[in-house]
Structure 1
Amino acid sequence: MDRAPEPHAGWTFLTNHSRVLAAIAADRATRVRDIAVRCRLTERAVQKIIGDLEDSGYLTHTREGRSNLYRISSDTFLRHPADAAATVADLMALLSAHDAARPVAPAAGRDEGRRSPVPDAPPASP
């Protein structure tokens, strides 16, 4: 059984809606359960977000057997007035470029070769 999402206090740069949309962009046939794990949300929260995205015209789905196949309306403009010139495709391109540049995490329990997550950051104090 999947673990409950880890609690997070404070603000973040990305909304849960953008995280869910990015997960669907990465795999159009992904399951709600897998999105929840990837985004560290509950399945119920993911279902609500998918409903929001569909109601707003950003996403549609079709049934294929027992699965859903999602389609992102990539030419749809973002909702916030400050982002009015940007489309969903622009956002997904930005997020996918970020994911492509992300280094692969070292194997669990291995500290050798670890680098600071912030370039040129001073070493951590013991």
Structure 2
Amino acid sequence: MTPQDIALVRSSFAQLHRRKIETACLFYERLFTTTPSTRVLFKTDIQGQAAKLMETLTVALAMLNDPGGLNVLLARLGERHRNYGVRPEHYEAVRSALLWTLETSLGRDFTVQTRAAWTELYDQMAKTMLAAAPPSRQSA
């Protein structure tokens, strides 16, 4: 990602700060509507899960200038998500729900450039998480 992409991602995410739990709940609502099979993966209440999601995103975005550290974080997340039952196809559903949520929440501020930066970031994060935790042969 370019420094401009990082700045776009960080500034757009900062705009959601006051509404972060509301935004994360909107994300999960969209995810569960478009991919109902993902709902069973979440054992905790969604408000608590929403807080965890936003906290993790905050940490990940803070680490964008430390690719090594970010890769370690993402590898651990990938392993945990695989153990929760997340399958490779779920990553595309999450990507779609995330981009929809950002567009819905940011409105006109979610420009073509901002969408491209978030798309690149998500795709890199998902690739790292999937590489760190390939599906087991039993669940493949």
| Bin of the TM-score, shorter chain as denominator length | under 0.3
- TM-score between the two structures when normalised by the length of structure 1: 0.27
Identify, as 1 or 2, the structure richer in helix.
2
Q: Name the one with the larger strand percent.
A: 1
Structure with the larger RCO, 1 or 2 (CA within 8 Å, 6+ apart): 2
Q: Larger radius of gyration, structure 1 or 2? A: 1
